[in-house]
Amino acid sequence: MKVKKIAALAVGAAMVGATIGLASAQPTVPEIPKDFFVKDGQPNVKIVVGSQGAALDVSSAADIAVALGTMLYTTEDVKVKDASVVVKKDTAYDPDDIPVFDNTYTGEYRDGDNLQDQAYWWNGSFDADGNPIFSETLDNSAWEDGIFDQGWDVLVPSAIEWKDGNNNNYWQDPNGEWHSATDVMLHYTVNIGKVTLKQLNDDPTEYTDIDDFSDFTLIVDNVVANVTFAINAYEKTLWDPVLGATGTTYTVSDLTPSYYSLYESNVISGVEEGDTIDLFGKTVKVLDIGSDYIEYGNDWGETYIDAGTTKTFGDYTIKVLDIDVNQAKALLEVSGPAGSETITLNTDDNPTETLFNGGIRVTLKDTFIGIGGTTSVKVEVQTDISYIEDGDEFIPGWIAHLGISGGKLNWFALTNKEELEGKEVKLFDTYVMDYQASIMKKKNPSDDKTYAAMEAWVVIDPLKPEYATETLSAGDELEGWTIDEITATADPAQAAVVSKITTPITVLDTEVMEQGLDNVDSNLILIGGPVVNSVTAALAEKLEVPSDYDGWKEEYGTGADSGVVKYVAECGDINGYGVVLVAGTDREGTAAAAKALMEYLAGLS
């Protein structure tokens, strides 16, 4: 039979052998060293297929070739180059907590005494270092009746983004330098007007022992969050160690930078139509500013559409059905998620239509006839139009207040719609408030009495972390430390390098016999018995197998059970190279032997 040579193999080849799985006893494979098959990542063997063999013998040879392919590699140590490390830090702003009580390190409170009478409640003030002063009984403290209503101010820096859409947020300083505020992050302030420890306020007589103060439900009210859209100019004197003061430098910011003083307030102020602001998690691109409202959405600007063509604007499309250039009129088909509508616009009487409950607004600006006779329209398009109105709910539970004058939004504020109550109270999905107390008890051996201490605060924490990352290499600095080196260990420590194979390793028995057994230059794997493979027949005595079919049948039987794998480490007839025989009385036996050898090879790789 004619058999094409099986080409060179690559590791990981997806070739699937066509061997037939039979529920028979697996032939035994003798112990064969790995270097019989592969040496230094290269094939050390040729697969010899009998020219008289069945197609299943060729499949068996292919299966063995694939198994050998998984062994054709070398290993080398993995070297780590240009190592770096990525560090991350939670940059979410964490406001100051509201003090409640602290008698730690005093050693005065004995377990069971009335905690309300202890003069360690916060008095509402701070010392020169900014530390809260705990010096009053509950009735004389800032938490009288379990209520704090002096107001707690929080300043949240770099929280509100303001993007200039009109290219006019600039200021020129006295030195003639221009300062840009086209994309800035502004601070906002929060005033928490009133905080109540609910259970303590409801029935203070029930709360005396220190353990009674371990947890409270909060009631939070009169919360005002405010952002002012204003940028100030600041100045700083430049000093030379020899010449002294040499001039003045300027900058713009919403807060006073270090070492600067105020030069001029509100050098850039007010959000205008076309600007974009990020308000407490909601992006607002301003389309229009009224006396008590802001209209916002996606502004696609002005664009041209030819007659008979369609343009897409987000979830919407506009198709120009007809154009009357003389009357500056256009017939348009506007389609969106809710369906389609046909509208007629003209530049004089009816230039604008708003459709689909603010989903899209189309304004006809002009009609044209092109040089080639093509008619076109120029339209202005906005989509996803919404409104913020003064006094309306902006986000669930929070009322918007707008400071509008001169066609600009100068400030924006949120107030809570109703009292906020819970074990944890969320502030506009950004911060969470929670009463937390740490109670410690210990017996004093000098008087055998149990003493206790508590530190309690109303904490204000970010609702979720905001991570900033930085990639650092050797030589970089991190918080005063210099990274001297980065030690990285590879796992695994060695990697496989796939060998490139360009020479076929599968040959016909007739080729080997024509060249002569004394010219064999590698180990051999013989596929098929002496009846179908002439090389097997020539080496049958060395392999100690029968030389004809009847002898095979008598010794090994038939079918899959007749498969055998023989190994001779050195065979003088082929220049001392080794031989592995994969054969059976019939093709099923040969296939079973090939499968056994494949599984053996898998264990070697």
The domain locations on the chain are: 34-76+498-604, 300-383
Q: What does the pLDDT read at residue 79?
A: 76
Q: Is the pTM of this model over 0.75?
A: no
Residue 303 CA, chain-centre distance (Å), reads 36
Q: What does the pLDDT read at residue 126?
A: 97
E strand intervals along 152-292:
152-163, 170-172, 178-180, 183-197, 218-228, 230-240, 244-253, 261-269, 276-279, 282-289
Q: What does the pLDDT read at residue 18?
A: 33
CATH number for the domain whose boundaries are 34-76+498-604? 3.30.379.10
Q: How far apart are CA 279 and CA 414, in angstroms?
A: 10
Task: pLDDT band for 502, please (50, 70, 90 cuts).
Answer: confident
Q: Is the pLDDT of residue 6 over 60?
A: no
Task: Give mean pLDDT, residues 393-406.
Answer: 95
SS3 state at 597: helix
Q: How far apart are CA 413 and CA 398, in angstroms?
A: 10
User: Chain-wide mean pLDDT for the chain?
Assistant: 91
Q: What does the pLDDT read at residue 484?
A: 86
Residue 229 CA, chain-centre distance (Å), reads 32
Beta bridge partners of 227: 412
Q: Who has greater pLDDT, 227 or 16?
A: 227
In contact, 141 and 149? CB cutoff 8 Å: no
- Which spans in 230-378 are helix H? none
Under 8 Å CB-to-CB from 569, ≥6 apart: which residues? 36, 578
Task: Give mean pLDDT, residues 52-61.
Answer: 88
Q: How far apart are CA 193 and CA 187, in angstroms?
A: 19
Q: Is the pLDDT of residue 287 over 80?
A: yes
Under 8 Å CB-to-CB from 197, ≥6 apart: which residues? 100, 143, 146, 147, 216, 217, 218, 435
Task: pLDDT band for 596, please (50, 70, 90 cuts).
Answer: very high
Under DSSP, the state recorded for 252 is: E
In contact, 296 and 386? CB cutoff 8 Å: yes
Task: Give mean pLDDT, residues 572-601.
Answer: 93
| Window from 225-239, 293-307, 474-488 with minimum mean pLDDT | 474-488
Q: Is the pLDDT of residue 3 over 70?
A: no
Highest mean pLDDT among 445-449, 451-455, 479-483, 584-588: 451-455
Beta bridge partners of 467: 90
Which tens digit of pLDDT belongs to each residue from 135-162?
A: 999 999 999 999 999 999 999 999 999 9
| Window from 53-57, 119-123, 353-357 with minimum mean pLDDT | 53-57
Q: What does the pLDDT read at residue 25?
A: 63
Task: Give mean pLDDT, residues 320-326.
Answer: 94
Which CATH class, in words, describes the domain spanning 300-383?
mainly beta
Task: pLDDT band for 443, please (50, 70, 90 cuts).
Answer: very high
Q: Over the Cα atoms of the chain, what is R_g?
A: 43
